[in-house]
Chain A
Amino acid sequence: MDMPTTKKKLGIKERYALMTRGLDWETSYQPMDKVFPYAQFEGIKIHDWDKWEDPFRLTMDAYWKYQAEKERKLYAILDAFNQNNGHLGVTDARYVNTLKLFLNGISPLEYMAHRGFAHVGRQFPGVGPRVACQMQSLDELRHAQTQIHSMSNYNKYYNGLHSPTEMIQKVWYMSVPRSFFDDAYTAGPFEFMVAIGFSFEYVLTNLLFVPFVSGAAYNGDMGAMTFGFSAQSDEARHMTLGLECIRFMLEQDPDNIPIVQKWIDKWTWRGIRVLTLVAMMMDYMLPKKVMSWKEAWEIYFEENAGALFNDLARYGIKMPECAKQAFIDKDHISHQAWATFYQYSGISNFHSWLPSEEDKDWLSAKYPDTFDKYYRPRFEHWEAEAKEGRRFYNTTLPQLCQVCQIPMIFTEPDDPTQICYRESDFGGEKYHFCSDHCKHIFDDEPEKYVQAWMPAQQIYQGNCFPEGADPTAPDFNAVEEVLKYYNIHNGRDNMDYVGSEDEKNFAEWRQTSTKN
Chain B
Amino acid sequence: MADNVFIAFQTNDESRSIIEAILADNPGATLDEQPAMVRVVCPGRLTINRESVEERMGRDFDLQELQLHLITLTGNIDETDDAFTLAWRN
A touches B (Cβ under 8 A): yes
Structural contact, B35 and A215, CB atoms closer than 8 A: yes
Known: A233-B67, A236-B70. A310 touches B79 (CB 8 A): no
The minimal Cβ–Cβ distance linking B59 to chain A, given in whole angstroms, is 15
A233 to B75 Cα, complex, angstroms: 16
Cβ-defined partner of B71 (8 Å) among A11, A69, A233 = A233
Rounded to whole angstroms, the CA-CA distance of A55 and B67 in the bound complex is: 13
A135 CB to nearest chain B CB (Å): 11
Chain B residue with minimal CB distance to A56? Answer: B79
Q: How far is the CA of A236 from the CA of B86 in the complex (A)?
A: 12
Contacts of B65 in A (CB 8 A): 66
The answer on a CB contact under 8 Å between B69 and A233 is yes
Q: How far is the CA of A340 from the CA of B13 in the complex (A)?
A: 44
Is B35 touching A209 in the complex (CB atoms < 8 A)? Answer: no
Given A232-B72, A307-B3, residue A11 in contact with residue B36 (CB < 8 A): no
| Complex interface: chain A residues within 8 A of B67 (CB) | 58, 66, 70, 233, 236-237
Question: Are B89 and A311 in contact (CB-based, < 8 A)?
Answer: yes
Q: How many residues of B contact A (CB 8 A)?
A: 29
Give the tally of cross-chain contacts (CB within 8 A).
Answer: 93
Q: What is the 8 Å Cβ interface bit string for chain B, positions 7-48, against chain A (1 contact, 0 not)?
A: 010100000000000000000000000111100000000000
Report the separation of the CA atoms of residues A233 and B9 in the bound assembly, to the nearest whole angstrom: 9
* Nearest CB in chain B to that of A215: its residue: B35
Interface size on A, residues (CB 8 A): 39
Docked CA distance A236–B79 (Å):
13
Q: Give, as a whole number of angstroms, the nearest-CB distance from A63 to chain B.
A: 9
On chain A, the residues within 8 Å of B69 by CB distance are 233
Q: Verify B36–A225 contact, CB threshold 8 A.
A: yes
The minimal Cβ–Cβ distance linking A246 to chain B, given in whole angstroms, is 11
B48 CB, min distance to chain A CBs, angstroms? 13
Of all chain A residues, which has the CB nearest B8?
Answer: A210
The answer to whether A56 and B36 touch across the interface, beta carbons within 8 angstroms, is: no
- A320-B62 Cα distance, complex, nearest whole Å: 39
Known: A214-B37, A233-B67, A307-B3. A57 touches B72 (CB 8 A): no
The interface of chain B, by Cβ under 8 A from chain A, is 3-6, 8, 10, 34-37, 64-65, 67-77, 79-81, 88-90
Inter-chain pairs besides A58-B64, A307-B75, 19 sampled, C-beta below 8 Å: A55-B77, A66-B67, A70-B68, A211-B34, A214-B35, A214-B36, A217-B36, A217-B37, A229-B37, A233-B69, A236-B71, A240-B77, A303-B4, A304-B4, A304-B6, A307-B4, A310-B90, A311-B89, A311-B90
Closest 3 CB pairs of A and B: A307-B3, A217-B36, A218-B35
